[in-house]
Structure 1
Amino acid sequence: MLKTVKVSIVGRVQGVGFRPFIFQLANEYGLKGTVQNNMDGVEVYIEGNSADVQLFLQSIKEKAPRLARIDQMTVYNEAFIGYKQFSIIKSRREGTSQLVIPVDAGVCDECLAEINNPHNHRYNYPFTTCTQCGPRYTIIDELPYDRPYTSMSHFELCPNCEKEYNNPMDRRHHAQPIACPECGPYVTLVSNDGRILAELEEALQVAGKLLNEGKIMAVKGIGGFHLCCDANNDQAVSLLRSRKNRPNRPLAVMSFSIEHANSFAKVSSDEEKLLRSPEAPIVILQKKKEYHLSEKVAPNMKTIGVMLPYSPLHYLLLKEAGEKTLVMTSANVSGLPIVYKNEECRQYIGEIADFYLIHNREIVHPVDDSVVQIVQDKTDFFRKSRGYVPDALYSKMNVDGIVSFGGQQKTTFALGRNHQVFIGPHIGDLENLFTINHYKKELQHLLKWIQPHQRIGVIDYHPNYQTRELAKEFSFDEVMEVQHHHAHMAACLAENGIDEQTFAIILDGTGYGLDGNIWGFEIFYGDCKQFQRLAHLKYTALPGGETCIREPWRNACGMLLTLLGDEGFNICEQLFPSHKEAISVFRAMIEKGLNTVYAGTCGRLFDAVSSMIGICEKSTYDGEAAIRLSELAQLGKQVDSYSYEIQEDHNKLVFDFSRMLLEISRDVSSLKAVEAISTAFHETIVQALVDGMNRMKEKFPQYNNKVVLSGGSCHNRYLKERLTSCLTVAGFEVYSHKRIPCNDGGLSYGQLMVAAAKREEKPCV
């Protein structure tokens, strides 16, 4: 019996070889019809024997290409049409977009094999790609994803490439970035003063030699420029740090292979899988004892960020450099977005790089590398960008028409369309006009592609965040404010598919509270719609406000003076003898309430202890004091915690660590090892929170026993593992992030979910 069906497929089905896959599948089962890209996804008309059609439909889901993801597949019975063959037809650009935008993918094994084969015409060609790898999002200008709407449109296909492109049985059929040495982009090596030194294959060969000589090079990749140098060369790494004004922040490296990474870092099977994945992120690994890279790459750290070559250009560059491990860090001036245009590289990074390895394939959308670690066998994203965005997440709730603007630091934006959530790329900190304009440009592009109705704009509750001004540029029906830590909570709830009310432990750096103070050490109970604050850290003064974040010793003084009075004043003078005059000024500022705000945050508590024990008095990068303190904590070692109190104030529990700080100051005076102090401090935080949760369980026996963990401090491996373990033993079900950053990079997602939940509860008019 002959049958005709129409199949509509929504998901990540463009730019992943889906149409040739359908073509080959139809031929396998002897079926006829058409396949077409449209603004919804892919549409297939299939005609043939009923049993064969059924096998075809089953195989679509079972055998889809590795980069494909099917979110929805709908089958409609149609009247018999009488197709003569199966064909791929021209894309349809009309209608409202329902597309999932294809993401950039690391080079595949087949393309690597061609690059390494002297008998292949793509031998040593740095822009080799196919339907299963290469740039996608970074080169797209319009949708649907077809070559004329990408930055590859300027390169006319040679006869060989055109043959591959048009052959449905070839793995490069409609691979939009398809290219070869005859017709595609090429690399050029340029000196600091603008002279062209070499082109094509010679440019890579010379670049490799220069890196071996200790030179610093700006390299244009898929999402922007990197600054790179030999990671084994102390002098080169020191020079890069000096020129970039990055004295301490860890630098990422790129290793030629897993075997090379294994020589200086511990790589688990899960971490290897991530490193080799199409997303190819930077993975945070534990250093080995026999670590042989320059100590200046990741100073004062037990960990190092590692990635593998995710583009043919990177692979060939490392090969020409003798298969070395190279420093590979984003090329940007501190505080500014990543540099991605040829004409801007010398202007913005001219004083940093000695040479530039550029190419003539335009980057339309710059993206930073994604950064992830594995904790308790789960992914923990520090930054979710290249390889992952703007891929869609499915939502149980209708999120259509909601645009959320994120926070001030590590910011992202998020858009809702029907039941899909699109989170934009990592933007950074909205502290200057360049970053703000970059934010606007990427938001406008995604809005144009996604085409939401822009009904609700969502912003952080903080009155001075730049995103508040950005939202004013749109005509929303409603602008909704969401408290910072409620957004963190909602992000974790939604990611884990939790609908009912639960507890939330939010450990964070800074978030504007409903009482006007700075929150960040919280126990909430609630859901995406609403929350109640059940417990928090006792507020202490930040004399000079945000200056305390950059100079943690000030923060420590504020805590000690607030909590311990005259005794705290004496401790401050003992710990920070070079700042005695300032300490007296701080005491007067606190007493008179001058230029002083009050905060109770996990981040500031970590900063204070870090400075007290002499680890970091001044932060040279965001979170340095807390990160360096966390690196000292010895997970798995049995330790006694310090003293603490849990008080009650206005029906809320208040964590008071006054005695802990006093005991830490005594340990510093007695020259106790900083590793022991850090470990005991971490354990104190864990035990206090578990104690607080047990008290909640007693006070509210009717409450759910589920608890979500969120906030930037939950990246801390010790806190996350110990809290999960101890809370589980105490009878709680613990949930954390796996796909969304627990830091402010996940804030826009949480904001959007709060807005969707609040909209659902409103009565229909």
Structure 2
Amino acid sequence: MYTAIKVTVKGKVQGVGFRPFIYQLSKKYRFNGTVQNNLNGVIILAEGEEGQLGNMVDEIKRHPPKLAKISDINIHPIPLAHYKGFTIIPSRENGKAIPWIPADAGICEQCLEEMMDPCNRRHHYTFINCTQCGPRYTIINRLPYDRPQTTMKDFPMCHDCQVEYEDPLNRRHHAQPICCPDCGPTVTLYNQSGESLAEHQSAITRTVELIKQGNIVAIKGIGGFHLACDAYQERAVEQLRIRKRRPQKPLAVMVKSLEAARDLCHISSSEEDLLRSPEMPIVILNRKRGCGLPHTISPGLSTIGVMLPYTPLHHLLFKDHRLECLVMTSANPSGHPILYKDADLEHVRNICDFTLTHNRRIDFPIDDSVVQCDGEHPIFVRRARGYVPEPLKTTSDVDRIIALGGNQKNAFSVGNGDTIVMSPHVGDLENEEMIASFEKQLHHYKGFLGVKEVKVAVDKHPLYATTSIAKKLKGKTIPVQHHHAHHVSCMEDNGLNEPCMGIILDGTGYGEDGNIWGFEFLYGDAQSYERLAHLTYTPLPGGEKAVREPWRNAVGMLLHYWPENGKELCMNLFPERAKEINIMEQMILHQINTPMAGTCGRLFDAVSAILGICPISTYEGEAAIKLSDYMNRRKLENTGETYPFHIIRNSPNQFQIDLSPMIDEIIQDKFQQPITAIAQKFHTTLVSCCIQMVLELFRNRPELNRTVVLSGGSFQNVFLAREIQEGLQKEGFNVYTHRNVPCHDGGLSLGQIIIAAHTLEGR
């Protein structure tokens, strides 16, 4: 029977070749009609034999374009309009659904083959792309995603590109960044004085020569400038660290191929899939013994952050095999926003010898994504290029709510209807430049999503930069407790609505009692929570200074736990700090700038300092990261041996964990046992105390839901996450970890926005 239907396809369907895909289906299944983009998604009006239309819908569901991600398909019968053929019609800027902003994608195999083909007109062209790869998010001015609304409007198409663009059967049909050497952007190499040295392919060839000579080159990519040097040249790596003021934090590397990556690191099938995915993130891998890279790439760690070339330019840098591996790190000075504009070149030239740039503007800067594997699943360390901005559906009404996230590893969320759009990783809001960058990105997102009058969810910490930012925004402010937000973030990440237990192992969060929380056992949902248990508080002399200098944290614990001989222990462990220890003793005694804290992050810091691993941190989380790394250094035999600890019942419904017996034995073991053995026993103790605490809580409250979520920055520690999850599952609990957003503060805004929605609904 000849009939007509309207098909509305929602999700990631713009900028992924969806309309030409439908056009090709019209030929395959012999139907007439139209296909069009609007803010609702893709609208298909199709007339044909009922069976053939059914086949068309089935193929859309089963085999959409590679970059597409369909969230919903609606099909409705409509009257026949008697179309004479099938056409792709211009986009319309209407519709009420959340527009799905396409993400940037790594170069596809077909474009890579064409770029390396001497007979192809795009041979060695740095900006080759098609509907399945290339820049998207970073070049968009506004929606819907069409060329006049991208920075590619600066480059009118030549005749040949126009023909490809308009041909529905061509791979580049409506590929908005389409271009070629005759009409597209160009690359240029500059010296420190701003003089042009070379253009086009000769600029790339010269760049390779300069890197081989030991120079540091700033390279403009999809989302901003990278600093690049030969990763095998230790002197160049050290010079880069000095100029970037990054003495210890790991540097990411880009290797020419998967085979080259295998020479350096152990790679599982899951890690290989991540490296080769369209998102092409940095993947944290375990380095092999005898790996030729200098240890200055990731000092004190057994892992390396590795990525494959994801742009045409990157592939051309490795083309002649003179380079095997490049350090590829963001060009901004540590703690400052991404450098991405040509006007930023002046700042870039202060830390590099040469600059390889291009004249395609970047409208939205973005960092490389960073992931690690827990065996099967990816864990987000930094959610950015390739994954952002992917809308998240929710059952909560988050319309016109903005959640500002935290001060560390910031990412904000904007709500529209039943959809949440999270920003990419912004960074730490520790200076005016970072705050300005945050506010600019937030302004853009509000414009993209049409969000004006808003309600603002913000962390309860009174001194966070987000608290000041919230005051500038028009609308009601909803304060949200930090660890409650972590709890609900993991619930939302897994589609959970019923009240459940949350184990929140974190660095620092402002507590309801004015103390610093971060080792929490909460029970509740988005509407409310109970704090059932936590780590005992110890003094943090100097506050933030003790976070930056973990040895101070250790001193605070020892003086608190052992008033009589704690000072002697401190002097034995840190003999060069005698004068400061005397001052800190008085600070604790008189409660001067000494908040009380019970956090997993500070516990890791203290143990790391006691063992001499990291007395002073040069980057956020360094002490904990380096202590955790000992779990990667040999095949561990799970002896189950733990240090002693106490579970203390403070009241009928609240408990504390006292780990002072563990600290005492760790100090003794330091002089008798290898650090690796101590680190393993420490980790096993944390797993054991968390499981025992949960069992005690459920013995006390057997009516509670036996579902547990794990959240907070300490769960980036794969051992802790895996062992606590498996241990609780053996005891009959359903246990969930993060999957789509980071477990650290980069996922905080997801919990904040859901809590705010329920707070408003309750009122």
TM-score normalised by the shorter chain: which range applies?
over 0.9
Structure 1 residue aligned with 2:300: 300
Q: Segments of 4+ in structure 1 off by > 6 A?
A: none
Residue 521 of structure 1 deviates from its aligned partner by 0.3
Specify the code of the residue in structure 2 equivalent to 1:416.
Answer: G
Partner of 1:403: 402
Quick one: structure 1 residues 528 and 88, their matched pair in 2 at CA, closer, same or farther if it must change by over 3 Å? same
- CA deviation after TM superposition for structure 1 residue 59, in Å: 1.8
- Tell me, what secondary structure is at the counterpart of 1:582? helix
Q: Contact (CA 8 Å) 2:208, 2:323: kept in 1 or not?
A: no
Deviations 1:738-765 (A, max 9, x none): 1110000000111112122334445xxx
2: CA distance, partners of 1:321 / 1:338: 30
Q: Deviations over 1:411-448 (max 9, x none)?
A: 01101122211000111011111111111111111111
Deviations 1:654-693 (A, max 9, x none): 111111111111122x242111111111111111111111
Asked whether the equivalents of residues 403 and 457 of structure 1 are also in contact (C-alpha less than 8 Å), the reply is yes
Counterpart AA for 1:393: L
**TM-score with structure 1 length normalisation?**
0.98
User: Separation in 1 of the partners of 2:503 and 2:625?
Assistant: 20
| Displacement after TM superposition at 1:325 (Å) | 0.8
Partner Cα distance (2:118, 2:206) in 1? 20
Contact 1:331–1:339 at 8 Å: present in 2 too?
yes
Are the equivalent residues in 2 in contact too, given 1:211–1:321 (CA < 8 A)?
A: no
Indicate which of 486, 493, 496 corresponds to 2:494.
Answer: 496
Residues 209 and 321, structure 1, Cα contact 8 Å, conserved in 2:
no
Q: Is the 8 A contact 1:10 1:70 kept in 2?
A: yes
2:385 partner SS:
coil
Q: Take 2:229 and 2:616, find their aligned partners in 1: how far apart are those partners?
A: 27
Opposite residue 674 of structure 2, the aligned amino acid is A
- Match of residue 687 from structure 1: 688
Displacement of 1:170 in angstroms is 0.2
Residue 403 of structure 1 contacts residue 454 of structure 1 at CA under 8 Å; is this kept in 2?
A: no
Deviation at 1:93, TM superposition (A): 1.7
Please identify, of 725-734 and 173-182, the stretch whose mean Cα deviation from structure 2 is larger. Answer: 725-734
* Corresponding residue of 1:644: 645
State whether structure 2 residue 462 is matched by structure 1 residue 460.
no
Deviates more, 1:686-695 or 1:359-368: 686-695
Match of 1:152 in 2: 152
Q: Secondary structure at the match of 2:565?
A: helix
Tell me what 1:282 maps to. Answer: 282
Report if aligned partners of 1:96, 1:451 keep a CA contact under 8 Å in 2. no
Q: Deviations over 1:203-232 (max 9, x none)?
A: 000101111111111110000011111111
Q: Indicate the SS of the match to 1:58.
A: helix
Distance 1:142 1:98 in 2: 13
Deviation at 1:624, TM superposition (A): 0.5
Letter aligned with residue 378 of structure 1: H
Larger mean CA deviation between 741-750 and 436-445 belongs to 436-445
Counterpart selection for 2:553 from 532, 552, 555:
555
Q: Residue type of the partner of 2:733?
A: F
Q: Secondary structure at the match of 1:566?
A: coil
Residue among 602, 605, 610 paired with 1:604: 602
Please give the residue correspondences for 1:742-753 in structure 2 after superposition, counting only pairs within 5 Å.
742-753=743-754
Deviates more, 1:25-34 or 1:134-143: 25-34
TM-score, normalisation: structure 2: 0.98
Alpha-carbon contact 2:393-2:420 (below 8 Å) kept = yes
CA contact (8 A) 2:483 2:518 kept: yes
Q: 536, 540, 543: which one pairs with 2:541?
A: 543
Q: Which residue of 2 aligns with 1:385?
A: 384
RMSD over aligned CA atoms reads 1.3
Aligned to 1:216: 216
In structure 1, what is the equivalent of residue 519 of structure 2? 521
- Cα distance in structure 1, aligned partners of 2:62 and 2:147: 28
CA contact (8 A) 2:98 2:419 kept: no
Matched, 1:427 2:426: yes
Could you tell me which residue of structure 1 aligns to residue 374 of structure 2?
375
Partner SS for 1:103: coil
The correspondence of residues 197-596 of structure 1 with structure 2, limited to 5 A, is 197-320=197-320, 322-345=322-345, 347-452=346-451, 454-476=453-475, 478-596=476-594
Residue 87 of structure 1 aligns to a residue in which SS? Answer: strand
How far, CA to CA, are the matches of 1:410 and 1:678 in structure 2?
26
Alpha-carbon distance, 1:493 to partner: 0.6
How far 1:718 sits from its partner (Å)? 1.7
Shift of 1:318: 2.2
Asked if structure 2 preserves the Cα contact closer than 8 Å seen for 1:564 and 1:658, the reply is no
- Give me the whole-angstrom Cα distance separating, in 2, the residues matched to 1:453 and 1:43: 27
Q: Secondary structure at the match of 2:44?
A: strand
| 2:296 counterpart SS class | coil
Q: Distance in 1 between matches of 2:397 and 2:241?
A: 47
Amino acid at match of 1:574: N
The answer to whether the Cα contact below 8 Å between 2:446 and 2:452 also exists between their aligned partners in 1 is no
AA aligned opposite 2:594: T
Shift of 1:371: 0.4
> Aligned residue for 2:717?
716
In the alignment, the residues of structure 2 paired with residue 360 and residue 3 of structure 1 have an alpha-carbon distance, to the nearest angstrom, of 50
Counterpart-to-counterpart distance in 2, 1:62 and 1:715: 34
Q: Distance in 2 between matches of 1:527 and 1:509?
A: 22
CA distance in 2, matches of 1:474, 1:612: 45
* Shift in Å, 1:456: 2.2
Does the Cα contact within 8 Å between 1:187 and 1:203 map onto a contact in 2? yes
- Mapped to 2, the partners of 1:97 and 1:225 lie a distance apart of 34
- The code of the aligned residue for 1:700 comes to R
SS in 2 for 1:585: helix
Determine the structure 2 residue equivalent to 1:654. 656
Partners of 1:619 and 1:57 lie apart in 2 by: 56
Kindly state the Cα deviation for residue 464 of structure 1 after the two structures are TM-superposed: 1.1
SS at match of 1:565: coil
Any residues of structure 2 matched to 1:11-90 within 5 Å, and which? 11-90=11-90
Deviates more, 1:627-636 or 1:25-34: 627-636
Residue 547 of structure 1 deviates from its aligned partner by 0.2
1:38-68 alpha-carbon deviations (Å, 9 max, x no partner): 1221111111222222222222212210111
- Kept in 2, the 8 Å contact 1:376–1:721? The answer is no
Instruction: Report if the CA contact (8 A) 1:635-1:679 is conserved.
Output: no
Separation in 2, partners of 1:491, 1:351: 40
Residue number in structure 1 paired with 2:735? 734
**Hey, what's the Cα distance between the residues in 1 that align with 2:290 and 2:735?**
36
For residues 357 and 392 of structure 1, what CA distance do their matches in structure 2 show? 34
* Contact 1:255/1:308 (<8 A) preserved: yes
**1:488-525 Cα deviation digits (max 9, x unpaired):** 11011111111111111100000000000000001111
Distance of 1:470 and 1:146 partners within structure 2: 33
Is 2:32–2:85's contact at 8 Å kept on the other side of the alignment? yes
The Cα of 1:399 is off from its aligned counterpart by 2.1
SS of equivalent residue, structure 2 residue 154: coil
Q: 1:589 Cα shift?
A: 0.8
Matched, 1:666 2:668: yes
Paired amino acid for 1:607 = D
Q: Deviations over 1:81-110 (max 9, x none)?
A: 111111111111245463111000011000
Query: How many angstroms apart in 2 are the aligned matches of 1:613 and 1:407?
Result: 30
CA distance, structure 2, for counterparts of residue 494 and residue 95 of structure 1: 27
- Residues 687-743 of structure 1 show CA distances to partners (whole Å, capped at 9, x for unaligned) of 111111111121111111111110000001221122122222222221101111000
Q: Which amino acid aligns with 1:101?
A: I
Contact kept in structure 1, 2:349 and 2:355, CA below 8 Å:
no
Equivalence for 1:195 = 195
Alignment partners' CA distance in 1, 2:299 and 2:474? 48
Distance 2:547 2:506 in 1: 13
Secondary structure of 1:596's partner? Answer: coil
Secondary structure, counterpart of 1:65 in structure 2 = coil
Note the residue ranges of structure 1 that are not aligned, 5 or more in a row.
none
Identical columns (%): 47
